[in-house]
Amino acid sequence: MKLSFMTWVCPDWSLSQILAAAIRYGYEAVEPRAEANQAHGVELETTKKVRKQIRKQFADCGVEISAIATSRRYALAAEHELQESIELTKRYLELAADVGTPHLRVFGGGTPEGMDFSDAKQRVAESLHECGPLAAEHGVYLCLETHDSYSLSADCVETVRMAGHPNVAICWDVLHPYRQGESIEEAFDNVRGFVRHCHVHDATRPADDGPGGWEMALMGTGDVPHDEAVRLLAGINFQGALSGEWIQAFPPEQVLPHDARVLDEYRRAAAG
């Protein structure tokens, strides 16, 4: 498995700065965050010519693009908003193929007021199914994240099963199912057949032990047993990335080297 980081940690850095940091701190991959006004340039508006240059820039550095993280979501009450999100997803699939990443991160989203969760799941699943053939054509996996209303791994897996397409998969954010009360082993057992990408970020448990109020922590200093998650992933020969996601929680010069070192220790221990 590869070490990666999402560009939320350095939204103002150019692509050259990002790649230099990846090499400096020992990351094998980077996850550009699209739709967030960041400086890396991996966006829908990027021309075909520049997309080729981006792909070459990564290749020349020996760094992969682990995924493109989007804001796309599908549990939307308004039909025109849903169709817009689906069409944008299809355009992001083309972007992913152009820059050379096999993964596109998407969300289910929060359940709209007045909509049953079962109906929301169906809407998300149908949207993912519609995008599936184009994803397959481009060699890209749509990765539904264990996040928002789909934080529980069982809900995320059920939705992916309902989508019924081999190019619809899961981005396992290790934190979110855990803070909702699932053990690492329980979440892994659910997602193991579908996980293609992982988000990692340690956090400290709130005083009330509830799902809200968790505070970001440097890897290994919080309460989320990522070492167990890495061990379980190693057991299935996981070939995706452990991608650190910190939304302006730490300076990049602090968290990037620290988390790379600790995650590599976990990775080495899991390999025996």
Q: What percent of the chain has pLDDT above 90? A: 98
> What phi, psi does 30 have (nearest 5°)?
-135, 145
Q: Is the pLDDT of residue 110 over 90?
A: yes
| Alpha-carbon distances of 6 from 52, 67, 105, 151, 153, rounded to whole Å | 21, 9, 11, 19, 22
pLDDT (tens digit per residue) in 17-72: 999 999 999 999 999 999 999 999 999 999 999 999 999 999 999 999 999 999 99
The alpha-helical segments, DSSP class H, found in the chain are: 15-25, 48-61, 79-99, 117-138, 153-163, 175-179, 184-191, 226-235, 252-271
Return the pLDDT at 272.
Answer: 82
Structural domain of residue 201, as residue ranges? Answer: 2-271
Instruction: Find the angle CA(263)-CA(68)-CA(226) to the nearest 5 degrees.
Output: 20
Interval 253-263 mean pLDDT: 98
The per-residue pLDDT for range 212-234, each reduced to its tens digit, is 999 999 999 999 999 999 999 99
> Closest Cα partner for 73 from 5, 121, 7?
121
Kindly report, residue by residue over 174-208, the tens digit of the pLDDT. 999 999 999 999 999 999 999 999 999 999 999 99
CATH, residue 45:
3.20.20.150
Question: By C-alpha distance, which of 136, 202, 201 is closest to 169?
Answer: 136
Length of the chain as a residue count: 272
DSSP string, 55-86: HHHHHHHT-EE--EE-------SSHHHHHHHH
pLDDT for the residue numbered 248: 84
Contact (CB, 8 A) for 69 and 6: yes
Sign of the Cα torsion 34, 224, 181, 154 reads positive
pLDDT range class, residue 139, cuts 50, 70, 90: very high
Is the pTM here over 0.95, yes or no? yes
Contact 263, 26 (CB under 8 A): no
* Cβ atoms < 10 Å from Cβ of 115: 14
State the amino acid at position 18 in one-letter form: I
Per-residue pLDDT, 209: 84
Tens-digit pLDDT profile for residues 64-81: 999 999 999 999 999 999
Give the pLDDT of residue 111: 97
Q: How many domains, the chain?
A: 1
What pLDDT was estimated at residue 33?
98
84, 49 Cβ separation under 8 angstroms:
no
